[in-house]
Amino acid sequence: MSRSKILLGDLPELAYKVINYLQNDYSTLYSCILVNRLWCRLAIPLLWENPFSISSRNYSFIEIYLYDLEIINNSLYPNVLFNYSRFLKYLNIFKFIFSVDKWFDPDIRTSPPKNESCLVPISRNTITAEICVLLFKIFIENEITLHTLEIEICGNCYQPCFDNILELIFKNANFTHNIRNLNLFTIDDSSKYVSIKNRISQIIHLQQNLKKILLSNNSSSLYLSLLLSKDYNYSNTLNTIIFHRVNLNGFNNLQKVFEQLNVLESVHIAYCYYLHASFTQQIINLTKPFKLKSLFLSEIQQLESLELLLQKSGDYLENFGIAKLNNGLSSNQQLLELITKYCKNIKLFDFYVPISQIIYQIFNLIENIKQNLNYLSISLGYKNTGPKCCSIILRKLGQKLPPKLEYLCLNFYYIEASDFEVFLKNSKDTFINKLLINNSEGQDILPFIKEYIMKKKRVRYLAIKESILVKELVSFKDEANEFRLYNIKVQSYQSLEINLHNYIKEID
């Protein structure tokens, strides 16, 4: 089929699909630029749609944005091939200011300012603020179509810059009028940030097409006022709300909020505080379905309230996770019973095993959700569970897995080789796209991975922390190249591991 498309002249369409598949693989995208003009034109927009969030110590791309300004004198990049600012789709204001600040840092810059002598008398903070304003004016003048805006307030960092930028955004409504995703991160409810919070409220009221909003890090008073405002315009567009590490104790009018959102399709609650009766009762009283798609817990305090919530919304739940809880045997057992009873459609299951007595309940839950399960992560609290718990899991888990998994992470610290061989034999019919193993204090399992995984091509991406290797597998080029011969890409554990914070942000 692909060959016929090429013969019919559809090569650009196929190349576009290939390039888009590599959207977050920046090193590969850079390589694509060098292939030919077509691939370059396709790759450049992806590299420049979210440049301020790319982890790098090279901030020289700021100079390319400043190309049109007289202070650069058009001498740095006299032949710019693209209007790079037009490609910007995602903007985190804090990371934007941070990038500009680091670009101006003489210890990090790859080249000094052209007119450095004229900048010396002015403070670095002043220069950073001025350049940020100049860049924002460039973005506004180029009429970019911004899809995602993140407003992240971290203490006193860059507060004058925030004030100036939010003022610019508010005065140029067209810059953000078509935002689909809005992410708010605040760590302080104090009166110091009243002006910033008021400006955020004004910006939100301008939105006409907002589809997703993420509320993160505690600022319940601000978030509640935003959700309850009568002036917003997204009651017929907003389909996703994410609460991340928010204090739910002060949300006393949520029933009213959810009743007036006409197209709400998913709600996600991640590591929030005070998921108590006062919150769940409002949900239970809703006259419409409450489509809770994600629930990640960091505490268990009122199981009765949680059961009522799951009774109403358990059928919708797709992502479930438990952090390092120390609530004792009874609470953990009851929690697993509730999830097994009410939640049949879980696709992502992330579980920390604090005590060995609940292992078989975990197996029952995995068996119960096996049909839909696609992401599985199990971590052991080694001090409380010991090697016997790890042995039981490895000898039983392979039989419980579905035929295909997108992601499997075994964070066990200590693995005995014989137990791991049993796991590999029992899971021989399961293909795993991404396999991560933390065996940093255990026995050598690499020979079994080569025998049962590499040679049988049972995974596509692999990351291993193993004591016998001292470092990660990716650090050994010869070993990594051997796996590459079988079309298995060895990566670092950190790069392959699902960051639940980012996973939550990217939820649709």
Distance CA 31, CA 26 (A): 9
CB 176 within 8 A of CB 149: yes
* pLDDT for the residue numbered 469: 58
Neighbour count for residue 208 (Cβ, 10 Å): 12
**Residue 293 and residue 319 in contact, taking contact as beta carbons nearer than 8 Å:** yes
Q: pLDDT averaged over consecutive 10-residue blocks of the chain (508 residues)?
A: 45 74 78 85 89 79 74 54 87 90 67 43 72 88 88 70 85 83 75 71 82 81 68 84 87 83 93 87 92 90 89 96 75 91 96 84 93 94 73 93 95 90 95 92 90 95 78 89 94 89 78
What pLDDT, on the 0 to 100 scale, is given for residue 54?
80
| SS3 per residue for 463-497 | EEEEHHHCCEHHHCHHHHHHHHCCCCEECCHHHHC
Q: What is the pLDDT of residue 112?
A: 46
Distance CA 90, CA 401 (A): 37
Residues 207 and 147: their CA atoms lie apart, in Å, by 12
**CA angle, residues 146, 179, 258, in degrees to nearest 5:** 160
Domains (range + CATH), the chain: 1-47 (no CATH), 374-508 (3.40.50)
For residue 405, the model assigns a pLDDT of: 96
pLDDT of amino acid 6: 40
Three-class SS of residue 441? Answer: coil
* Residue tagged 């420049």 (tokens): 48
Alpha-carbon gap, residue 419 to 406, rounded angstroms = 23
